Structure 1
Amino acid sequence: MYGRKKGKKLKLTTKELVLVSVCIALTVIGSMIKIPSPFGTVALDSAPAFLAAFLFGPVFGAIVAFFGHMLTALNVGMPLTVLIHLLIATQMAIVCSIAGLIYKKGYFVLALISGFLLNGVVAPATFIIIPQFGMPFFTAMIVPLLLGVGINLAVAAIIVRTLRGRVRL
């Protein structure tokens, strides 16, 4: 695990800082590849976050996911307000860290399935209880979100399988 020793603070090396920065930059590129949705915020921006979670660990995945979503939201003009996008970015950070933890335990397929369900169903379901969103928001967003997270996870999975054992990170 990068930059961590048991009982020590998280301290990024220069290499780790560069890798995380590159992943965040890739989220910006991915944010420009949109999947049609009612609010225009579903994009191919979480693949680098899942990739970071799988290759560098859950903390790095969470960092990339949080900043990646915020940059995606900025790219489309924060259509759901800053507070809602902060909530979504936090959800993404949690989802990527959970997927990274499961991957770290050696369960790659389970990590992909959990990322798919948490990001595609559980996270948007939390909006059902928010009065301005409710069930109509969930219903409108479920298909684009499932399609988006499926593509993002497929891209991350292909890259992880390709790099694993070939590149020393």
Structure 2
Amino acid sequence: MTTKKLALAALFISLSAIGGMIKIPLGIASIALDATPALVAVLFFSAPLVGTIAAFGHLISALFGGMPLGPFHLIIAIEMGVIVWLFAKLHHAGKYRLKWVAFIIGNGVVAAVPFYFLLSPAFFYAALPGLLIAASINAGVAALLLPYVLKASGGSGHAT
């Protein structure tokens, strides 16, 4: 990895940290924009690196929020990494609409499934609406930013 690529990845992780500080309380969950930079990073990096950016972004966001789920945040970070890895794979394969659906369902529903068993069914059902809203907002903001970031970077590719 070149120094330029490493610095750009660090920038996206830092942007995830800033997005993680923007929290909107919603029931037992909170909406944070920590995933948005990772979704935008798909324009510059391979799927594994984009997934890593998402995982670190979640961990930093959780730290700013006081780590309310304790060590479970490691599970969530791994889930975020996998979900955003899939998002990047779909993007690079030209599945531009499917990537958004996969991200919202993955982040808003599938990622919560382990907590049905680890914590309780009540936690799962209480968190689900907030997670779906958070995933939708992160996806929406990223979808709005992608064309502008692509244009500003002088890149050639498809942003949607």
Where do residues 35-46 of structure 1 align in structure 2 (5 Å cutoff)?
35-46=24-35
Q: Offset at 1:165?
A: 5.3
Partner of 1:99: 87
Q: In the superposition, relative to structure 1, how do residues 146 and 120 fare at CA in structure 2: closer, same or farther (>3 Å)? A: same
For residues 133-162 of structure 1, the C-alpha deviation after alignment (integer angstroms, 9 at most, x for no partner) is 221111111111111111111111122222
For residues 44-71 of structure 1, the C-alpha deviation after alignment (integer angstroms, 9 at most, x for no partner) is 1100111113442211211111111110
Partner of 2:63: 74
Residue aligned with 1:77, SS: coil
TM (norm. structure 1) is: 0.84
For residues 79-122 of structure 1, the C-alpha deviation after alignment (integer angstroms, 9 at most, x for no partner) is 111x2000000000000000100010001111011001000011
Q: Percent same amino acid among aligned pairs? A: 35
User: What amino acid sits opposite 2:87 in the alignment?
Assistant: A
Distance 1:48 1:78 in 2: 21
Partner of 2:17: 28
Of residues 95, 103, 109 in structure 2, which corresponds to 1:121? 109
Residue aligned with 1:35, SS: strand
Distance 1:159 1:100 in 2: 16
Q: Offset at 1:168?
A: 3.5
Gaps of 5+ in 1: 1-11
User: What RMSD, in angstroms, separates the aligned Cα atoms of the two structures?
Assistant: 1.6
User: What amino acid sits opposite 1:114 in the alignment?
Assistant: A
Distance 2:34 2:44 in 1: 17
TM (norm. structure 2) is: 0.89
Q: Which has the higher helix share?
A: 2
Over 6 Å off, 4+ runs: none
Aligned residues of 2:29 and 2:130 also touching (Cα < 8 A): no
Aligned residues of 1:42 and 1:145 also touching (Cα < 8 A): yes
Aligned residues of 1:31 and 1:44 also touching (Cα < 8 A): yes
Q: Which has the higher strand share?
A: 2
Q: In the superposition, relative to structure 1, how do residues 53 and 64 fare at CA in structure 2: closer, same or farther (>3 Å)? A: same
Aligned residues of 1:47 and 1:156 also touching (Cα < 8 A): yes
Q: Offset at 1:74?
A: 0.8
**Total equivalences in the alignment:** 155
